[in-house]
């Protein structure tokens, strides 16, 4: 083991671990160090396609994908060896080293952890052997005492890597000092010894008002508060968990994204959230679709179930009226599948269901999940809202069980998007467009074609995060962590 490890722990989920780990990846990389991110286990339906084992493609959580890019590294499966993708409230798909394991998915959680840890541990040691710094992200809280014996994602990983740990809390929620003190005290003494600094995240107001809190906390724990980070919502990274449940953002073109219960890969819509001239709404009811200029059906981890939910909410009727009025409807991956005539599930993976009937397509779910990067081109003869995309070339990624084709007894939909192999991966009929490629709104060429605006590069976003760290961490603290 040659690398030094820095670990970002949180007092709660949503405390700010992911973006802080991303910022540290770029900060250490800017010091001329070889850096890799690592998270032993992530739970998210936001996944990216990356190089996997034995020349195959695999999938990891989006957070580690962006952290790798921030570290100026190619993302790969060792950086997130275990990904849990929730399929229901009590069931998750288990992705081990980039590949789905049905056997692990069927096991009880505690027993599964002990079987998974050796693989996660091996990936960690390989990264430690190949880098100068490994930036590790924890999960939830390390002080869940009911789970501590089987939790390998937090302190077991920290001990294995001999990591210098930062404990971050969201002070905007209130109770920050209690969260920090309680988390610290619930850890065994040998684990507490790894906590080298507290971080107060999302602070509003005058930092002088915090006194004497940090000083008293240090007197009680021996751990200094190494940074007070002001509230910052415009850092440009997608949220790690959940739907953006804030008020609609922006003003102008009203884009409504259907927020069904099992939506996935919602992080790809982050560029729309702060786009000038766009009002972004996450819609769960027909009322929230009122006045929509566009309706987007995103990906789904349970397409048939989410389609049933749309019908129960009567959102399907709104989408049909929207399309009949020649207003744009965009379906991505699972959303594309919903727009077709039918879902066929001979293997019992997702469910049979009638589609919305807005594209003359049929989708059949296959056992093997298709994972691949997508080099794609929009066809030259698109029309309506989508005509500005004609001929545009872009990159994305595909991640789906469904295989979609034209319905032979119905009018033919226009092929709208092809992969670099010439395979059809997108279709158009009137104002309705469906495409299998995720990540389109992250592509400058697509954004310029649709909105006449460019995107800030990811590099500029990562450098902005590192600049923020430079401004708000005490000088020398971050380098001291790896000495």
Strand partners, 435: 332, 426
- Alpha-carbon distances, residue 16 vs 35, 230, 293, 476 (angstroms): 20, 12, 33, 22
d(CA 138, CA 9): 5
DSSP 8-state symbol, 122:
H
d(CA 405, CA 387): 23
Which strands sit side by side in the sheet containing 99-100, from one edge to the other?
41-43, 82-88, 91-96, 99-100
Rg of the chain over CA atoms, in angstroms?
23
Q: Token digits for 240? A: 């790690």
Q: Are strands 432-435 and 329-332 parallel, antiparallel or unpaired?
A: parallel
d(CA 326, CA 384): 9
d(CA 440, CA 446): 6
Residue 468, C-beta contacts closer than 8 angstroms, at least 6 positions apart: 23, 229, 232, 235
Question: Does residue 438 have a cis bond before it (omega within 30 degrees)?
Answer: no
- Alpha-carbon distances, residue 441 vs 256, 371, 445, 448 (angstroms): 14, 19, 9, 10
Strand partners, 438: 397
- Comparing CA positions, the residue from 322, 321, 312 lying closest to residue 353 is 312
Residues classed as catalytic = 333, 438
H/E element, 155: helix 155-161
Residue 298 in 3-state DSSP? coil
Query: The tokens 């449940």 sit on which residue?
Result: 245
Contact 339, 308 (CB under 8 A): no
H/E element, 367: strand 361-378
Contact 222, 195 (CB under 8 A): no
- Alpha-carbon distances, residue 442 vs 256, 395, 467 (angstroms): 18, 9, 22
């Amino acid at each position: 083991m040659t690398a030094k490890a820095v670990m970002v722990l949180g007092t709660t989920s949503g405390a700010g671990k992911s973006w802080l780990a991303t910022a540290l990846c770029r900060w250490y990389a800017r010091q001329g160090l070889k850096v890799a991110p690592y998270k032993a286990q992530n739970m998210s339906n936001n996944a990216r396609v990356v190089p996997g084992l034995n020349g195959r493609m695999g999938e990891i959580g989006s957070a580690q994908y962006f952290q790798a890019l921030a570290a100026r590294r190619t993302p790969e499966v060792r950086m997130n060896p275990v990904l849990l993708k929730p399929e229901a409230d009590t069931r998750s798909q288990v992705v081990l080293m980039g590949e789905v394991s049905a056997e692990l998915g069927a096991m009880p959680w505690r027993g599964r952890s002990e079987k998974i840890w050796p693989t996660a541990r091996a990936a960690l040691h390989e990264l430690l052997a190949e880098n100068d710094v490994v930036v590790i992200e924890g999960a939830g809280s390390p002080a869940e005492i009911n789970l501590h014996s089987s939790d390998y994602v937090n302190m077991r990983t920290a001990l294995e890597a001999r990591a210098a740990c930062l404990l971050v809390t969201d002070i905007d929620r209130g109770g920050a000092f209690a969260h920090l003190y309680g988390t610290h005290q619930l850890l065994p003494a040998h684990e507490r010894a790894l906590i080298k600094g507290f971080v107060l995240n999302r602070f509003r107001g005058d930092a002088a008002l915090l006194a004497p809190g940090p000083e008293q906390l240090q007197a009680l724990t021996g751990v200094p508060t190494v940074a007070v980070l002001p509230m910052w919502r415009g850092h440009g990274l997608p949220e790690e968990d959940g739907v953006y449940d804030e008020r609609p953002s922006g003003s102008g073109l009203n884009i409504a994204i259907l927020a069904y219960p099992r939506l996935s890969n919602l992080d790809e819509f982050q560029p729309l959230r702060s786009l000038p001239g766009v009002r972004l709404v996450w819609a769960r009811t027909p009322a929230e679709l009122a006045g929509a200029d566009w309706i987007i059906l995103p990906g789904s981890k349970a397409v048939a179930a989410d389609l049933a939910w749309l019908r129960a909410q009567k959102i399907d009727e709104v989408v049909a009226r929207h399309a009949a009025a020649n207003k744009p409807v965009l379906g991505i991956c699972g959303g594309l599948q919903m727009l077709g005539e039918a879902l066929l599930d001979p293997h019992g993976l997702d469910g049979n269901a009638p589609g919305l009937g807005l594209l003359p397509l049929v989708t059949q779910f296959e056992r093997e999940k298709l994972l691949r990067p997508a080099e794609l081109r929009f066809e030259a003869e698109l029309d309506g809202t989508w005509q500005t995309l004609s001929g545009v070339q872009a990159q994305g990624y595909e991640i789906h069980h469904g295989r979609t084709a034209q319905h032979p007894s119905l009018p033919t939909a226009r092929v709208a998007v092809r992969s670099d192999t010439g395979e059809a991966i997108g279709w158009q009929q009137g104002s309705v467009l469906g495409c299998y490629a995720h990540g389109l709104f992250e592509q400058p060429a697509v954004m310029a074609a649709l909105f006449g605006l460019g995107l800030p590069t990811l590099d500029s976003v990562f450098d902005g995060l590192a600049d923020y760290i430079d401004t708000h961490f005490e000088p020398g603290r971050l380098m001291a962590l790896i000495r």
